Chain A
Amino acid sequence: MFKVYIMGGQEVRALDGVDLDVFPGEYAAIMGPSGSGKSTLMHMIGCLNVPTSGSYKLDGIEVADMDEVELAHIRNQKIGFVFQGFNLLSRTTALENVMLPMVYGKVKDMEERATRALERVGLGDRLNHNPNELSGGQQQRVAIARAIATSPKLLLADEPTGNLSSMQSEEIMQIFRELNDEGSTIVMVTHEPDIAHHCKRVLTLRDGRMVDDELVTTRLDPKVEIARMTAEQNAPRAARVTPVSGVPA
Chain B
Amino acid sequence: MNLLLYFGLAMRGLTANKMRTALTMLGIVIGVAVVILVVAIGEGASKSVTDSINSLGTNQLTIRPGRPTLRITAAAASGTAQALVVANRLNMADSNLIQKDFPTTIAALAPQARATVQISMGDKDANTSVMGTSPEYLYVNNATMRSGTMFSAYQNAGSVKVCVVGSTVVKEMDGSADSDMTGQAIMINHNRFTVLGVLTPKGAGAFGQDQDDVILIPIQTALRRVLNTQVLNLITVRCTTPGMMSLAQEQIASLLRNRHHIPPPYPQNDDFQITNQTEILERQQSVTGTMTTLLSAVAVISLIVGGIGIMNIMLVSVTERTREIGIRKAVGATPRDILSQFLIESALISFAGGVVGVLIGIVGTMALSSIAGWETVVDPLAAAVALIVSASVGIFFGLYPAQKAAALNPIDALSYE
Contacts and interface: CB of A to CB of B under 8 A. Distances in A.
Given A69-B334, A69-B335, A72-B334, A104 B411 contact: no
Contacts of B5: 103
B333 interface: yes
Nearest to A42: B411
B324 interface: yes
A104 B330 contact: no
Contacts of A100: 327-328, 331
**Best-buried of A49, A72, A89 by chain B (most CB within 10 Å):** A72
Interface string B53-68: 0000000000000000
A89 B324 contact: yes
A81 interface: yes
A73 B334 contact: yes
Given A87-B327, A87-B414, A89-B327, A75 B332 contact: yes
Interface residues of B, number: 21
Contacts, number: 56
A83 interface: yes
A34 to B, nearest CB: 14
Interface string B1-30: 100010000001000100000000000000
Interface residues of A, number: 25
A146 to B, nearest CB: 7
A76 interface: yes
B411 A75 contact: no
Nearest to B333: A104
A87 B1 contact: no
A104 B331 contact: yes
Given A48-B411, A106-B1, A75 B331 contact: yes
B332 A77 contact: yes
Nearest to A158: B414
**Per DSSP, are chain B's interface residues mostly helix, strand or loop, or mixed?**
helix
A163 to B, nearest CB: 14
Contacts of B202: none
A232 B333 CA distance: 45
Given A49-B411, A87-B323, A87-B326, A101 B331 contact: yes
B322 to A, nearest CB: 12
A95 to B, nearest CB: 14
Interface string A100-133: 1101111000000000000000000000000000
A197 interface: no
B402 to A, nearest CB: 16
A192 interface: no
A49 B336 CA distance: 18
A104 B324 contact: no
Nearest to B15: A91
A59 to B, nearest CB: 15
Given A83-B414, A91-B16, A106-B1, A101 B332 contact: yes
A83 B336 CA distance: 24
A104 B414 contact: no
6 contacts: A89-B324, A91-B12, A101-B331, A104-B331, A104-B332, A104-B337
Interface of B: 1, 5, 12, 16, 323-324, 326-337, 410-411, 414
Interface of A: 43, 46, 48-49, 68-69, 72-73, 75-77, 81, 83, 87-89, 91-92, 100-101, 103-106, 146
Given A48-B330, A75-B330, A81-B331, 12 more contacts: A48-B410, A72-B329, A72-B332, A72-B334, A72-B335, A73-B334, A76-B331, A87-B326, A87-B327, A89-B324, A91-B12, A92-B12
